[in-house]
Chain A
């Protein structure tokens, strides 16, 4: 079996700060995702990547950058943290084929002071 590791687990930032979240997977999956989850709400797709050096915008890409320099890693940057922002950022990778199963990390919890 594999695992998805997200770092850090908790991230506290200041308004206007650039913050980077990292995700590593050892499934050897091609496609990786970043989602944002706000309290009591669903997951919203920020970016995804179907292979190394590929980036695709999701529904919530404004205010974020992403990077996929290696197949096993996918990082997300909050370009300018918003005051009082609180959310969980979830990374996932998926199996191949016509059916897709996502495997998620346990998340990075962001608080902006």
Chain B
């Protein structure tokens, strides 16, 4: 299974734009990059995902390197509610309709100060 590497923690201040890096040097060609975030006492929440192209939604912008060996989740104008553990993970498995493992690491803890 391909693995990801993230910093253990990052600090920010309200209103800043935060860049959360993720390294996945052994990613396979058909593996998607997923980002989830988790706040205390809750399960992880989906943020975004991508394959090759950069993606954007109401929560975040995902920048994927051209060689796909790294990606960056960009959170514009963070607020206190964005404080969470952010997990960068890769889809493991093959084929539509088949179950597949999704393995999570420790993630990166984002702290947001007022």
* A-to-B contact residues, CB < 8 Å: 4, 30-31, 33, 35, 40-45, 48-50, 54, 56, 58-59, 90-92, 94, 96-107
Contacts and interface: CB of A to CB of B under 8 A. Distances in A.
Contacts of B105: 42
Interface stretch (B37-45, B63-71, B73-81): B37-45
Contact of A102 (B32, B41, B44, B106): B44
B43 A105 contact: yes
Nearest to A45: B101
Nearest to B32: A99
Interface string B79-101: 00000000100010001111111
Contacts of B101: 45, 48, 58-59
Contacts of B100: 100
A96 B96 contact: yes
A10 to B, nearest CB: 11
On chain B, which size bracket covers the interface? 20 to 34
14 contacts: A31-B99, A41-B106, A42-B103, A42-B107, A43-B103, A43-B104, A48-B101, A59-B103, A91-B43, A96-B96, A101-B49, A103-B46, A104-B44, A107-B42
B36 interface: yes
Contacts of A41: 106
A98 B96 contact: yes
A99 B91 contact: yes
A42 B91 contact: no
A84 to B, nearest CB: 21
